[in-house]
Amino acid sequence: MVELKHFNDISAVTNAQKAQILMDALPNIKKYNGKIVVIKYGGNAMINEDLRQSVMADIVLLNLIGVKVVLVHGGGPHIKEMLNKIGLESKFLNGLRVTDAATMKIVQMVLAGQVNKDLVNLIGSLGGDAIGLCGLDDQMIKVRKQDDALGYVGKIVDVDVEIIRDNLDKGYIPVISTIGTDTQGQSYNINADTAAAVIAGALNAECMLNMTDIDGVLEDKEKPDTLIRTMTLTQAEELKKRGIIAGGMLPKVQCCTDAIQAGVKRVFIINGTVPHAILIELLTEEGLGTMFIGHYSVVGH
């Protein structure tokens, strides 16, 4: 098999190797054709322009070969930048942004306005058809206040995916910013990892990819070659007890296991700083990161 990730310079690949790459990808193209794939997008892949182009190009390609892609994004760095410009301090509690009324206005403006529309525009410039959505549209994501100490941070209580399915059926790539509403019409900030997992479950997605700045779950975080390629829910719990999954990895893994429990067949943690990480994970047998599954009857990256 030709290993796609080893070719950083496409000019170094012979025509025969290019043809072999496409042939090797064919079974996986067939596997995902017509299926829903949810991608949670964030981290350095969002703020580095070259990586941003790479991610959006991957999404356009998947869409063109018949994969129904849903892109769920955050925008923490962009929110921080805007808050700094107007002199508001960024505060966090247990990894979540403390969101008072003034901060909520900035969050909504940046996520649903700037970041969302920039991504939709970029996908369009690359030949894709995208439509920007947020959880406020048709009250798609309903929430309740998660904790008074966090302010306007929402815990999802319901997701109506009809508007997402409708746009998928029309051939669009839904690009979703993670803002929700309560029954009184108050806007809330939502953790993007959590939102992606809930949306993927509600859509009964074939798989979900959680793009981060790490390779996946490592047996030893100091040794990249200890990457755990496949993990069941039972194994994830065991690794938590052993302290291998700890600290900042805990919420990432929780997001993945929540999605599996909600009915998603495969969930991947992949390193979004690797160019074309999405294509490598979905369309090559070797894969890239850690794959979460319910049990071992589901096999193969």
252 is catalytic: yes
40 is catalytic: yes
Q: Residue 113 half-sphere exposure, CB side, CA atoms within 13 Å?
A: 9
DSSP lists the bridge partners of residue 144 as 155
Catalytic residue among 137, 151, 215, 252: 252
43 is catalytic: yes
Complete DSSP assignment for 15-66? HHHHHHHHHHHHHHHHHHTT-EEEEEE-THHHHSHHHHHHHHHHHHHHHHTT
75 is catalytic: no
CB–CB of 141/159 below 8 Å? yes
Question: Among candidates 224, 225, 236, 291, which has minimal Cα distance to 264?
Answer: 291
34 is catalytic: no
Amino acid making up residue 74: G
Catalytic residue among 42, 74, 76, 289: 76
Q: Give me Rg for the CA atoms of the chain.
A: 19
Catalytic residue among 58, 137, 193, 215: 193
Q: Catalytic residue numbers?
A: 40, 43, 76, 193, 252
